[in-house]
Structure 1
Amino acid sequence: RILFLQYLLWSCFCFTPGYGGDWIDPDTPEENRKTITYVEALDGAEFELVMSDEFNVPGRTFKDGEDPKWTALHKNDYTNAALQFYDSDYLYTDDEGNLVVETAAKDTEIIGFDDVNREYTHITKHFKSGMLQSWNKFCFTGGIIETEVLMPGKWNVGGLWPAFWLLGNLGRHTYVGSTDGVWPWSLTECNENYELAQLFSGCNNATHFGFKPGVGRGSPEVDIFEVQPGPIKADTGPFKYTWIGEPFLSASYQIAPGKSWNRPGPGFWPGPGQWYPDIKQGWNTSINIGYYGNWNFVEGEKGASKRDYWSDAVSWNHQLQATHFETFHKYRLEWGLPSGKPRNNTMDGYDSGFLNWYVDDKLILSMKGESFHNVTGGTTPTEPMYVLINTALSRNWGFPIPCPDGCDCMKFNCNSRRQDDLCGFPTGFCEMMLNENPKYKMNYVRVYQNKNDEHHKVGCSIPERPTRKYIEGHPDLYKTEDDEKPLKDIQKGGGACDADANATFVDAKTCGGLTRGTCSTDKKKKASCTCDSEWTGPNCLAKEGSDPYDWDPPETIGDVGYYGPLRTSPFYLILISAITFTIVAVYWNQGNVK
């Protein structure tokens, strides 16, 4: 009986998934640790904070191995006709409590493998910028994500492409091998028409890498915003047939499979039955008629046509103003998963999942899962999604359309004196770039979930949608040839510091100040940081982070049937020991009385 009670105690305290604060920034104000959903059908349900980053500690950097939550890419981007090289030095936190993504007109010589054209190349990129990812570190499934942002550059000068978005963990953006046949699939059911196009088809009953038989997998994309600045007004030029002009925000759900027939053409409004029904647009918002998606095809391989497919960009544009580039504004996404239960009429279709976008707490766009399922069989995202923050540049985004007369629009170099290198830029772009590096500033990122919703989970590999074994089994898809592995281990301490610096200041020189780390000098008089238990990174500027519940731990003796107690806090260990001791004492006394 004593052993049974002890086992019961362990079960209660150690086996129940918890909604803890392992990813929560201690700088998050108490009043911001809960939020109420804006979705009327959820009747004001309360959501609790599960991840936050306030970016209040100045001098943070995010190079691979420096931060438990984020990784700043340091590699070329071969996607979307990108003009920039992602440089990890162009992401940092400033003295005002912001994450900064900086963009500069500076050259990078690149000798490496082109993932798109599958060949080694020697090219020069004439711009540097930053991309921050939480890939395979922090992911979440369902909930609310919110941020406050100051857009980069000038509202009326085109050329920059700031974005804040989510992607399924099976695909790592810019690592093209990881996204082939994976992006942006949301089809979970078997559809034999797409069995070869979707790498992880629902028609496959194999259970490799922990995948569930008969469940299709992929890496869908949710764009919380992609912003296009510029001077072109609605009802003119490329926006002739829409009432939204530049600058605008695109809110999009990118999914596959897309509609394979009776599609609207770019630049034209959809006709009856040509697009997804029952999508609700909010204030100052209109369907994005300029882009409906891609035809993804494979060339030069036997049977390639069976691997070709449409991916759709279900996208709406929201009008922005100069103020969005001059002051901070709030952007929010609410994401609900399909319930898997019979439709509840009181939910008005929300049981099929939903995506709702808000700007400054006002609804701009609402989609329900049944809109996709009834057309292509797709769903709202069911994959664990990671967060991406970046500024890109591309001749396909905000650059002159059509190309100016006498210009081939193939070379783009603001530091050149050759007209061929300058003629394809938007008006005023190079002047802006050469005057001052534009800065995309983010005040915070916060993620909330409903602890009463069984579908809401934190983790990049969850029971319903595991990813760990596949990623570990295919590391080359998620790294460059120069990387030893996709992500480096996080360095805890060891960064250079100043032993004479005022420790009351929180910065890299002081190892985070009094409460985060100390600067020590060794026998060779070399000063380096030693981090306290809850802080990490070379200079102790980042809070330790981990999932509150390990859904998919590495292989252990548990795989052969033994399940020991999971990780728990010292408080609970002491409490369990005390209760066990009390029970034993009671039984011992009863035995002596008899």
Structure 2
Amino acid sequence: MQHVHYVTVSVLALWWIASLVFVTAENNTLTYPTKSGLLPWVDPDTPKDKYVYTSSRGRRWDLVMSDEFNVANRSFRPGDDHMWTSLEKPDGGMLEVRAQLPGVTDPESGNPDVALGENGKVQNTKYYPTWPGIWMLGNLGRAIFSASTNRMWPYSYNECDADVFDPTFQRISACDDNPGYGLNPNQGRGAPEIDVLEGGGLAISSSLQIAPGMPDDYRLFPVDTSTGDFSYCLYSYNCLTPGANYIDVPTSYYQQERGHKSWYQGLRYAANNYCDQNAEEKQDYDTVAASVKKGITENTCSVDTCPASGDVNADLSVIDGGKNHWGINSNGTCYPLMNSYMGSYLCDPDNTFSKCASPRNESTTPKSNAMSSFNYQMDAISSNWPIHFGAYTGFYDYQVEWVTGENGYVRWLLHGEPLFEVTTESVVNVPQNANKTNPKKIMIEEPLYVIFNVALSSSWGTTPPNPGQECRGDGKDPTTNVICDSFPMYMKIDYIRLYQDLGDDLEPDNYMQVGCDPASHPTKEWIDAHIDEYEDDDNKWEEVAGMAFCKTSDDCTIGGTLSRTALKTGKCVKQRCECLYHSWGGPRCTTAVSGSSSAGLMSRTFGPPIEAAIAVASVIILMTMAMVHVGSVTTAKKTKAVMAALEAERKVAAPVSTAPTSETSSNRGSHLATLSKDNYRQNFV
């Protein structure tokens, strides 16, 4: 995982350990509760009153992972931390992150936005020259390691229909009866993406990115430059080309040309009410709803004709049973706009297809055969919400709720107030023409990991002065000098907390799990077999045992019935867990570890048969007996007790857990491993 000056993220690790103890049918992984009861991935500095979160659906979600970032000078170099890995490399549940975005905000900077105050709507892009991001990516792809993401990003597709989509373009396809590497047969896999926030300047983008994308027949009409339109006019919504500004606007034009709806239906948008009100932006639900029902006649939208988002197919129902409607700017505050960027077309470098960004010229450029051939569209379901100045000067809670399954959804929130939501219904039930050429995706269900990063770009919405050159140029522009003097800029992160629904009444397709290698969506064997795609000489794979933050040694050793034995698996040293034996790992030294003699560390997994731990514990105690004669009888009794207790734990396969679950983790893992290919869409938050 990558840590780059982040704030409050509610997306960090959808795949940590959801219950205190889990057992998978594949590898008999055993993770025991700590003696103190502290969960493996929870920071002991997290306030106890933050251990429970109530979701937007009224469900109780419990804290399963957190990081308060309270330790000064903490190292995130590979191998130095139990949770994060930092990278400096050029780029080609419910997650809550409290963060402050980077910008030039000093009162002496000359930034006109300073005078607007905390709630003023940001207006001057150049004072925010970075591109911060808080996002999650499927575990089968490692960000900015392109070999791991080719034909993997951002697939969320589990169909096998060559008439709709060429299965060879998806590296792990539902058409494969025997994919190997511990993968499930006939299960389409990929590395989809959820962006908690991305970008800077005037607006923040919140999105999910999936593939395969919709064909051209379901997207905006292309800009016709012969009309005098600039090719990027769609981003300012002022194109003369019919149908190039907003989806299904004008209504009659789209109906006449296509005969079906376009893009994703029923998306939900809501206001950023931290902005000051603007009376000219206020909307009335009845007026807008009537206009949408009648149909939009112009090639553009106004405050009285379209929802505030510019998405005429958006949901306009009441928000969470209250008085406000989705899509209606009833307060006149900052309102998310449907993002005109709807995704990119992805190709291998040898591809000659015309839609590729840089098609290979067959007459001048020979084939490189660098990778398998592919070309496909990916979709970005995204909203751009205007940001207030306070986001650059103070900390705000950026949150995401993510639930998979038939009733699943992804909801983005700011300080608990909704901004944007995409439901499973919107992802699955997409518009179709007579030939049904629109690929049917699934709600994102892959194990995801969290990334914090700050980037610079020469072409995105916000750019530094003189990109690609000396920042100050000739040094004569005082504004440029002020901006350049403000570097380095930081995205500051206060904490990240992850919550999950641990109730015993979840729907059949709603399984909240934490971990990188669940039985329903395995990843470990694939990654191990393709490790060269996930590392380079400067960023090597590193195994970490222990290192979780602790208050006492009880936070770093096994508990439950085993806490009454002589076996101590770890201790607290300088507020970090330190494992006492190689046979115990995990962040709190409570996971039984095994390794293969033929492959060394790379084949080591957190969760082999428990006999390995028994053997190590026995050898240590027996060696002590051989060297120290005094107390040999007592030691032998302790050894027998340890072995008996461990063997009992192994047979029961359900050590004591404080997590309120209706079934043991063992049963859940076994059930997931035996699901039919028609029921792989499970819920991981």
Common fold, TM-score beyond 0.5? yes
Distance of aligned partners of 1:208 and 1:158 in 2 relative to their CA distance in 1, 3 Å threshold: same
Residue equivalent to 1:252? 207
Residue of structure 1 aligned with 2:383, choices 300, 306, 316: 316
Q: Would you say 1:444 and 2:495 are equivalent positions? A: yes
Question: Do the aligned partners of 2:399 and 2:416 also contact (CA within 8 Å) in 1?
Answer: yes
305-314 vs 184-193, greater mean Cα deviation: 305-314
1:38 deviates by 1.4
Question: Do the aligned partners of 2:472 and 2:480 also contact (CA within 8 Å) in 1?
Answer: no
1:413 deviates by 2.5
Residue equivalent to 1:354? 409
User: What is the alpha-carbon distance in structure 1 between the residues aligned to residue 423 and residue 156 of structure 2?
Assistant: 14
Question: Do the aligned partners of 1:336 and 1:354 also contact (CA within 8 Å) in 2?
Answer: yes
Residue equivalent to 2:53? 35
Give the secondary-structure state (helix, strand or coil) at the position aligned to 2:133.
strand
User: What is the alpha-carbon distance in structure 2 between the residues aligned to residue 174 and residue 475 of structure 1?
Assistant: 14
Alignment of 1:569-584 (within 5 A): 577=645
Residue equivalent to 2:524? 468
Question: Do the aligned partners of 1:15 and 1:565 also contact (CA within 8 Å) in 2?
Answer: no
Residue equivalent to 2:99? 149
Distance of aligned partners of 1:549 and 1:488 in 2 relative to their CA distance in 1, 3 Å threshold: closer
Question: Do the aligned partners of 1:459 and 1:547 also contact (CA within 8 Å) in 2?
Answer: no
Residue equivalent to 2:452? 389
Give the secondary-structure state (helix, strand or coil) at the position aligned to 2:532.
helix
Residue equivalent to 1:432? 483
Deviations 1:128-162 (A, max 9, x none): xxxxxxxxxxxxxxx11001111111353132111
Alignment of 1:108-123 (within 5 A): none
Give the secondary-structure state (helix, strand or coil) at the position aligned to 2:246.
coil
Percent identity (aligned): 28
1:558 deviates by 13
User: What is the alpha-carbon distance in structure 2 between the residues aligned to residue 471 and residue 332 of structure 1?
Assistant: 29
Give the secondary-structure state (helix, strand or coil) at the position aligned to 2:102.
coil
Q: Would you say 1:58 and 2:109 are equivalent positions? A: no
Q: Would you say 1:371 and 2:429 are equivalent positions? A: no
Instruction: Name the aligned partner's letter for residue 211 of structure 2.
Output: A
Instruction: Name the aligned partner's letter for residue 76 of structure 2.
Output: F
1:566 deviates by 9.8
Instruction: Name the aligned partner's letter for residue 545 of structure 1.
Output: P
Residue equivalent to 2:357? none
Alignment of 1:183-222 (within 5 A): 183-192=153-162, 193-222=165-194
1:567 deviates by 8.0
1:309 deviates by 0.5
Distance of aligned partners of 1:213 and 1:17 in 2 relative to their CA distance in 1, 3 Å threshold: farther
User: What is the alpha-carbon distance in structure 2 between the residues aligned to residue 392 and residue 167 of structure 1?
Assistant: 17
Residue equivalent to 1:89? none
**How many residues are treated as equivalent by the alignment?**
422
Distance of aligned partners of 1:37 and 1:411 in 2 relative to their CA distance in 1, 3 Å threshold: same
1:167 deviates by 0.3
Structure 1, gaps ≥5 residues long: 1-9, 80-142, 230-245, 340-350, 494-505, 507-511, 517-529, 538-542, 581-594
Instruction: Name the aligned partner's letter for residue 268 of structure 2.
Output: K
Alignment of 1:103-182 (within 5 A): 143-154=93-104, 156=124, 157-182=127-152
Instruction: Name the aligned partner's letter for residue 433 of structure 1.
Output: C
Would you tell me which structure has more strand in proportion to its own residues? 1
356-365 vs 369-378, greater mean Cα deviation: 369-378
Residue equivalent to 1:288? 338
Give the secondary-structure state (helix, strand or coil) at the position aligned to 2:378.
strand
Give the secondary-structure state (helix, strand or coil) at the position aligned to 1:431.
helix
Distance of aligned partners of 1:579 and 1:152 in 2 relative to their CA distance in 1, 3 Å threshold: closer
Question: Do the aligned partners of 1:158 and 1:398 also contact (CA within 8 Å) in 2?
Answer: no
User: What is the alpha-carbon distance in structure 1 between the residues aligned to residue 500 and residue 38 of structure 2?
Assistant: 11
User: What is the alpha-carbon distance in structure 1 between the residues aligned to residue 344 and residue 646 of structure 2?
Assistant: 62
Instruction: Name the aligned partner's letter for residue 246 of structure 2.
Output: W
Residue equivalent to 1:545? 587
User: What is the alpha-carbon distance in structure 1 between the residues aligned to residue 387 and residue 573 of structure 2?
Assistant: 44
User: What is the alpha-carbon distance in structure 2 between the residues aligned to residue 184 and residue 204 of structure 1?
Assistant: 19
User: What is the alpha-carbon distance in structure 2 between the residues aligned to residue 416 and residue 305 of structure 1?
Assistant: 42
Give the secondary-structure state (helix, strand or coil) at the position aligned to 1:439.
coil
Instruction: Name the aligned partner's letter for residue 424 of structure 2.
Output: G
Residue of structure 2 aligned with 1:70, choices 84, 88, 103: 84
Distance of aligned partners of 1:38 and 1:373 in 2 relative to their CA distance in 1, 3 Å threshold: same
1:358 deviates by 0.4
1:388 deviates by 0.4
User: What is the alpha-carbon distance in structure 1 between the residues aligned to residue 553 and residue 610 of structure 2?
Assistant: 34
User: What is the alpha-carbon distance in structure 2 between the residues aligned to residue 554 and residue 335 of structure 1?
Assistant: 34
1:397 deviates by 2.2
294-303 vs 203-212, greater mean Cα deviation: 294-303
Distance of aligned partners of 1:428 and 1:398 in 2 relative to their CA distance in 1, 3 Å threshold: farther
Greater RCO between the two (CA within 8 Å, min separation 6)? 2
Structure 2, gaps ≥5 residues long: 1-22, 105-121, 223-233, 236-244, 249-253, 255-260, 272-333, 354-370, 431-438, 555-570, 579-584, 598-602, 615-637, 649-685
Question: TM-score when scaled to structure 2?
Answer: 0.54
User: What is the alpha-carbon distance in structure 1 between the residues aligned to residue 98 and residue 451 of structure 2?
Assistant: 15
Distance of aligned partners of 1:443 and 1:297 in 2 relative to their CA distance in 1, 3 Å threshold: same
Give the secondary-structure state (helix, strand or coil) at the position aligned to 2:587.
coil
User: What is the alpha-carbon distance in structure 1 between the residues aligned to residue 189 and residue 40 of structure 2?
Assistant: 28
Question: Do the aligned partners of 2:551 and 2:575 also contact (CA within 8 Å) in 1?
Answer: no
Instruction: Name the aligned partner's letter for residue 21 of structure 1.
Output: L
Alignment of 1:323-342 (within 5 A): 323-339=390-406
Instruction: Name the aligned partner's letter for residue 205 of structure 2.
Output: S
Instruction: Name the aligned partner's letter for residue 287 of structure 1.
Output: L
1:286 deviates by 2.9
Distance of aligned partners of 1:56 and 1:212 in 2 relative to their CA distance in 1, 3 Å threshold: same
Instruction: Name the aligned partner's letter for residue 286 of structure 1.
Output: P
Question: Do the aligned partners of 2:546 and 2:576 also contact (CA within 8 Å) in 1?
Answer: no
1:73 deviates by 0.5
Question: Do the aligned partners of 1:149 and 1:443 also contact (CA within 8 Å) in 2?
Answer: yes
Residue equivalent to 1:398? 461
Across the aligned residues of Structure 1 and Structure 2, the Cα RMSD in angstroms comes to 4.3
Deviations 1:390-424 (A, max 9, x none): 111112223479xx9xxxx76332155389xx9xx
Question: Do the aligned partners of 2:545 and 2:589 also contact (CA within 8 Å) in 1?
Answer: no
Give the secondary-structure state (helix, strand or coil) at the position aligned to 1:76.
coil
Question: Do the aligned partners of 1:147 and 1:331 also contact (CA within 8 Å) in 2?
Answer: yes
Give the secondary-structure state (helix, strand or coil) at the position aligned to 1:75.
coil
1:169 deviates by 0.5
Distance of aligned partners of 1:384 and 1:20 in 2 relative to their CA distance in 1, 3 Å threshold: farther
Deviations 1:496-543 (A, max 9, x none): xxxxxxxxxx9xxxxx99999xxxxxxxxxxxxx96297159xxxxx9
Question: Do the aligned partners of 1:219 and 1:383 also contact (CA within 8 Å) in 2?
Answer: yes
Distance of aligned partners of 1:296 and 1:224 in 2 relative to their CA distance in 1, 3 Å threshold: same
Residue equivalent to 1:22? 40
Residue equivalent to 1:121? none
